[in-house]
Chain A
């Protein structure tokens, strides 16, 4: 079965609101987690990453939270914009210094309503 999964396939939010996308993982040995954004017809685009020795990391308008106790990952997008519409994937690997394929979840489709 999948090591990484998402709770909701579709998330609809109003423009300007904050979005929270959730992800559960099952491999407690995973050391590195990434969020990707994928627009239609394009490859996944890196958003933000976090290592297992951290519980929070912030980027520009995005924050990733990691709860290792319950093996849960979330992506928060502040002041959601129309350009944020996409499918968001969380991915994990064992952190072998780049020598490891990523395991992806199924993705959440974020829809922005005007």
Chain B
């Protein structure tokens, strides 16, 4: 497909479990972003990659959150020891080099019980 894809689309985890969320950006998009969207709220920035380099991780809420993009394409957002407050939709977006317009994937809806 031509758009950003994310998997899984839905994830239910027991509190304390680790989860891994995957993002496949649009081919050729150098920049990749992760956002967290709580119910009824706008997305909030988590972290940003340019190729494989993580240039900004100021939005990650705690050290339980970790993101990587080892080969500069697919990215994984990992949440360790999940808590109920981690329940949200996690959105991935990508953009062309030098352009500000970000294109979003469908998101992964995480529910922590």
**A interface, CB within 8 angstroms of B:** 4, 32, 34, 36, 41-46, 49, 89, 91, 93, 95, 97-107
Contact = CB atoms under 8 A, between A and B. Distances in A.
A98 B59 contact: no
Contacts of B63: none
B72 interface: no
12 contacts: A4-B42, A32-B100, A36-B104, A41-B106, A43-B107, A91-B42, A97-B99, A97-B100, A98-B99, A101-B35, A101-B46, A101-B59
A98 B55 CA distance: 12
Nearest to B43: A104
Given A101-B59, A104-B42, A43 B97 contact: no
Interface of B: 4, 30-31, 33, 35, 40-46, 48, 50, 55-56, 59, 91, 93, 95-107
A48 B81 CA distance: 39
B103 A46 contact: yes
A49 B100 CA distance: 9
Contacts of B105: 43
A93 B106 contact: no
Contact of A97 (B41, B45, B98): B98
